[in-house]
């Protein structure tokens, strides 16, 4: 390491990097909390309105304030597919095959889009959680190396000379761990929430297929 680099610059650079990591972590955490609360609320409202409907046609034309959220978008995709299938009358390759299977595939594709949206930001949390301690350790190691050079140059090994620079360098590792802990905890928590909401979407897809199959894939009762 070049001797002209101040240990303060090394420590500060590390701390600023960890500060950015911390801001990113809490930004993602707050956004994901808002996203999951919103999705849960919308799904509950849509479920009640959808299953209280008297027919598929009524369920298809629910008010806009009740037809929001992941499950509503999946249902909207299903109804759109049925409308396009009737209009195509089998002329398009997209609608050739077993109607039930094609409809289910369309629903699953939309469900995967919803899952991808729910998983957004989790990779960043995992990356911050796994790298922050190493970033802090990097700053600590470089800080200690520079401190050792200064101690050697001064020719003194007293506690006053050694403890200060090394103590400052160790702060980076402590902060790195402090940044990593909430990122890892949040990642595990949100990953569980993604699995729970995905299970709910899968159940809705199965239920949607049941009522559509009972009415005919074109939704005629």
The pLDDT assigned to 113 comes to 93
Distance CA 211, CA 70 (A): 19
Within a 13 Å sphere around the CA of 56, how many CA atoms are in the beta-carbon half? 22
Please tell me the predicted confidence (pLDDT) of residue 161.
Answer: 57
Q: Which of 13, 38, 25 is nearest to 193 (CA)?
A: 38
Closest residue by Cα to residue 18 from 189, 167, 138, 191: 138
pLDDT tens-digit profile, the chain (221 residues): 555 556 567 777 888 899 999 999 999 999 999 999 999 999 999 998 888 888 888 888 888 887 888 999 999 999 888 888 777 765 666 667 777 888 888 899 999 999 999 999 999 999 999 999 998 888 888 777 777 776 676 666 665 655 666 776 788 888 999 999 999 999 999 999 999 999 999 999 999 988 888 776 554 44
Tokens 């299938």 -> residue: 85
Query: What pLDDT sits at residue 181?
Result: 95
Q: What integer pLDDT is reported at residue 39 of this predicted model? A: 93
Cα dihedral sign for 38, 39, 41, 42?
positive
Of 11, 1, 6, which is closest to residue 139 (Cα–Cα)? 11
- Dihedral angle of Cα 190, 193, 194, 199, to the nearest 10 degrees: 170
- Count of Cβ atoms closer than 10 Å to residue 138 Cβ: 18
């Amino acid at each position: 390491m070049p001797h002209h680099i101040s240990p303060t610059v090394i420590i500060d650079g590390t701390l600023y990097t960890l500060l950015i990591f911390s801001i990113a972590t809490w930004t993602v955490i707050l956004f994901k909390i808002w996203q999951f609360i919103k999705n849960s609320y919308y799904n509950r409202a849509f479920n009640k309105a959808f299953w209280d409907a008297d027919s598929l046609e009524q369920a298809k034309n629910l008010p806009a304030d009740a037809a929001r959220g992941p499950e509503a978008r999946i249902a909207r995709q299903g109804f759109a597919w049925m409308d396009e299938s009737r209009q195509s009358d089998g002329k398009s390759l997209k609608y050739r095959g077993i109607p039930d299977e094609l409809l289910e595939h369309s629903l699953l594709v939309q469900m995967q889009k919803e899952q991808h949206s729910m998983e957004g930001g989790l990779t960043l949390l995992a990356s911050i959680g796994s790298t922050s301690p190493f970033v802090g350790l990097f700053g600590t190691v470089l800080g200690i190396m520079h401190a050792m050079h200064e101690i050697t140059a001064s020719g003194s090994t007293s506690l006053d000379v050694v403890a200060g620079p090394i103590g400052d360098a160790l702060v980076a590792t402590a902060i790195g761990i402090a940044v990593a802990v909430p990122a890892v905890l949040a990642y595990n928590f949100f990953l569980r929430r993604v699995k729970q909401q995905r299970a709910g979407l899968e159940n809705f897809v199965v239920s949607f297929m049941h009522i559509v199959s009972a009415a005919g894939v074109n939704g005629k009762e």
